[in-house]
Amino acid sequence: VYLPGLPWALSTWLFFILLWVGLQLIANGIDYVMATRRNYLSEKSYTSFLSQSFGHIISLPVSFFKEHRIGDTQDRISRAANDMEQIISNVLIDLGPQFLTLAIGVFIVGHINPSLAGLLLTGMLLYILTLIRIVPPIARLQKESRKAYGDAYSTAYEAVSHFDLIKQSTAEEYSKG
C-alpha cells in the first residue's frame, strides 16, 4: 500500500496499524454484543428460576418448614440458580461457538493434511481423558466444601432470624419487671 507523500515503508506500517485498529474495534464490538446477550439470557433464566422456586416454597404447607430449615432451603435454591446462570453464561454461550470453530478447524486441517488432523484429534482425546480422570476428585471436594458452607450459612441464617424473636421477648420481660 502506497500513500503519496509518505515513504513506502511508513505507509505500509500505517496501513497495517490502521487495519489492526479496525479489526480490534470490530472484535471488541462483537465481544460487547456477546457479553450483553450472555448477561441478558443468564439473568433472565436466573430471575425466572428464583421466582418460580420461591413461589413454590410459599405454597408449601407449614409442615415442610417444621421439617426443613429455611436457611438450608434458601441456600440450595440460591446455589442452584447461581450454578444454572454460570452454566448458561460460561458453557453454553461461550463454549458453543468455540467448539464449532474447533470442529471446523479440524475438518479443514483434515482436508489439507489427514495425519495432522489425526494428531490433533488424538491430542484432544488425551486432554478429554485427562479431564475425566482429574475432575471427579475436584468435584467431590467442591461438593464437600459447598456442604460445609451451606451448613454454616443455614445455621447463621437461623441464628440471625431468631435473634429478633429473642430480643423482642427479652424486651417484653424487661418491660413487665
pLDDT value at 77 more than 70:
yes
Q: Please tell me whether the overall predicted TM-score, pTM, comes out greater than 0.75 for this model.
A: no
Instruction: Write out the three cell numbers for 112.
Output: 489439507
Average pLDDT over every residue of 131-146: 84
Q: For residue 177, name the pLDDT band (cuts at 50, 70, 90).
A: low
- Judged against a pLDDT cut of 90, whether residue 126 lies above it is answered with yes
pLDDT reported for residue 24: 92
Q: Which amino acid is at 15?
A: F
DSSP string, the chain: ---TTS-HHHHHHHHHHHHHHHHHHHHHHHHHHHHHHHHHHHHHHHHHHHHHHHHHHHTS-HHHHHHS-HHHHHHHHHHHHHHHHHIIIIIIIHHHHHHHHHHHHHHHHHHH-HHHHHHHHHHHHHHHHHHHHHHHHHHHHHHHHHHHHHHHHHHHHHHHHHHHHHHHHHHHHHHH-
- Banded model confidence at residue 118, pLDDT cuts 50, 70, 90: very high
Give the mean pLDDT of the chain: 80
* 68 pLDDT above the threshold of 90: no
